[in-house]
A and B are shown apart, each in its own frame.
Chain A
Amino acid sequence: MKKLNKEDILAASKTNPYTGDYVKVGISTCGVAAGAQDTLNVFEEETKRLGIKVDIRRCGCIGMCYAEPLVEVSAAGLPKVTYGKVDKNVALEIIQEHLAHGRLVDDYIFDMPMNR
């Protein structure tokens, strides 16, 4: 692989890897303990089966451990939201409602104020 130089690093800092619709599942120790791997599998299998075009991504822990598994959904035409306590059934609902019909799912959205 090519060794990077300064220009490569600066160019990379201007890229945006988050284009298109995506579902991001928190896969770290606390998430996995709460069943995040199953949740991730449901998203991967079901979106494929239904032919929904969406990237399934992974990320670390955002810190809201009481609400794991956590899933961030970004779909065209809708603001980005974070769902918490997403077990298999909630995952299926998110696919059906949010991804397929553009309707947000009641009772699972966590939206905490945070400055970055």
Chain B
Amino acid sequence: MSKQTIFLLRDTSLTQDNTRDFQILFLKIARDLGVEDSIQAVRASDLGIYDKGYVVKDLNNKITYANIQETDIEKFLKATIKGEGSVDEFKYTADKCQLRIVLRNCGLIDPENIEEYMAQQGYCALAKALTEMTPETVIDEMKKSGLRGRGGAGFPTWMKWSFARNSLDETRFVVCNADEGDPGAYMDRSILEGDPHAVVEGMILAGFAIGAQRGFFYIRAEYPLAIKRIETAIEQAYERGLLGNDILGSGFNFDLEIRLGAGAFVCGEETALIESIEGKRGTPRPRPPFPADKGLWNHPTIINNVETLATVAQIINRGGEWLAAIGTEKSKGTKVFAITGKVKNSGLVEIPMGMTLGEVVFGIAGGVLGGRKLMAVQTGGPSGGVIPLKLIDTKVSYEHLAEVGSIMGSGGLIVMDEDDCMVDIPRFYLRFCVEESCGKCAPCRIGGFQMLKILDRIAEGKGVEADLQQLQRIAKGMQKASLCALGQTAPNPVLSTMKYFPEEYRQHVEDKKCRAGKCTKMVQYTIDQTHCKKCKLCVVNCPVGAISGSREAGYVVDQVKCIKCGTCYEVCKFKAIVRK
């Protein structure tokens, strides 16, 4: 088989797909030019490039060409295959693309095979730290890198480590927070499943830096595969002397074990997590003292997120300055996001800090599902805020997201289109927080419940003007007086939607209307007989058989049976279903 040039073809317009026609023409012209045997022209499913016309990617030479018209094909083939003329004008380089640091091995190596991790410089950082560095220089390197915690709060990692390092108490612990409870977020799970040794190596390095003897993985029991892979990784590390006594002959001893969480959101909060590992009920403790001072069994303990720890080995390998060169002034490195909701390419992306939300949603994730209009994005899960379309150029960084009333959080990013209701979404998050509140402190336990009751009332069309002020008042109380960040941040989704979508709240309260039709108590579906073509599509699709009638008499919706799912509204091709 002679070596052929492989071209991937793709129509990247968001509204149509004429890749097949383009391929037929491409192959015909190749035949006319007599080069059909030296190429393959393959239809691709996705090239990660959107709205750039026809895109052709030369896989052998790794060059991408965009905006190629049908009339350009001949010129293109002559230039690329026969070397006659040039097609430099079509060359395309993606200006915004993912940068994989934490996820560099995910999807590349076999996570259950330590040799494959080691072939990617695995455990080189550990060898370097134990033989050439001191705990102080490791912490120094972390300081230079500017790495901040990826679990939500964004606390500088080196600072936490140096608090523990400088403690007089010499029994110290390292904990990996793999509780990941934010709805829609699963970055940590993917890292644990895809590159477990990177997290184990980060743990050992953290242990060395602070002078700890033991470390714990706190993983939620709902992640069986992640648990299995971490178990395997720990076992392999012990067998090779990377854990246990006298690691690499350095005299440093470190043991790692796993503790399972039972799936309570609040147990991701560091002090509740400590209680849980100690075998007690998982409720937060007042801080200070902070865990770095008095944590597990009252000994200095550092708690770091999975993603934070997965970055450590590379900082030691490549040097702190390397990471510090990526990102914004106050936010260094990359962040992994789990993009979900109404988005074309849902999944995990890792981007350098400082990229804008719009670039992430449209440039990397392919835009809104079905080419619809973006309404808002939500970051930070139940502790975060909703960011409207007009602020889509906000940069992804701790400081910029805080400026617009949201947070980086652990990395959930939910895309919403115009079918989403800006009262219903915060109601969902608040309900989550109310259900997950541990009940220890009153502001969170009572405040959350009362806010939810008001939101429920508004969604049922029974809201009054004063409810809006009451929401603000309770929110303030919760923010100021709750014991932990669960209660302090639970009002954020409500407050940010009230700030950016006041007219939507006003519609719900004054007009008793839900624009998106999500607050079902306020909507009614009826059939407009003048538009109805009697096709029966709604009758067939109604899941509860609420639509009946005949061609002669017309069709009607039985309001008692109707569950307001909106299926009839969606399937009707003649806009005969009226939603009010």
Taking Cβ atoms with an 8 Å cutoff, the residues of A that contact B are 1-6, 9-10, 12-17, 26, 28-30, 32, 57-67, 70, 72, 77-79, 81, 84-85, 102-116
Contacts and interface: CB of A to CB of B under 8 A. Distances in A.
A110 B46 contact: yes
B85 interface: no
Given A4-B241, A60-B190, A60-B193, A66 B345 contact: yes
B257 interface: no
A4 B240 contact: yes
Given A66-B345, A66-B346, A109-B8, A103 B107 contact: no
B119 A12 contact: yes
B6 A16 contact: no
B190 A63 contact: yes
11 contacts: A1-B240, A10-B124, A12-B122, A13-B124, A17-B116, A28-B190, A29-B190, A58-B110, A59-B109, A60-B193, A113-B94
A85 B44 CA distance: 12
Nearest to A79: B59
Given A66-B346, A107-B43, A29 B127 contact: no
Interface residues on B, range: 35 or more
Contacts of A28: 111, 189-190, 193-194, 225
Given A106-B42, A115-B98, A10 B127 contact: yes
Contacts of B280: none
A110 B44 contact: yes
Which 4 residue pairs across A and B have the least CB separation, nearest first? A60-B194, A62-B107, A3-B241, A63-B348
B347 interface: yes
A28 B192 CA distance: 10
B242 interface: yes
B112 interface: yes
Nearest to B194: A60
Contacts of A115: 97-100
A32 B223 CA distance: 13
Contact of A13 (B107, B118, B346): B118
Given A29-B189, A29-B193, A112-B48, A59 B127 contact: no
B3 interface: yes
B15 interface: no
Contact of B1 (A1, A12, A17, A77): A77
Interface string B117-152: 011111110110011000000000000000000000
Nearest to B117: A12
B103 interface: yes
B118 A111 contact: no
B111 A59 contact: yes
B239 interface: yes
Given A109-B44, A114-B100, 18 more contacts: A2-B240, A4-B242, A9-B248, A13-B122, A15-B119, A28-B111, A28-B194, A30-B186, A60-B194, A61-B190, A63-B103, A64-B345, A70-B107, A105-B42, A106-B42, A112-B46, A112-B48, A115-B98
B40 interface: yes
A109 B48 CA distance: 11
Interface string B219-261: 0000101100000000000011110000011000000000000
A12 B115 contact: yes
Nearest to A103: B40
A16 B226 CA distance: 26
Contact of B115 (A15, A57, A72, A104): A15
Nearest to B108: A59
Contact of A63 (B240, B248, B347): B347
B523 to A, nearest CB: 30
B369 to A, nearest CB: 10
A60 B106 contact: yes
Contacts of A59: 106-111, 194
B498 to A, nearest CB: 32
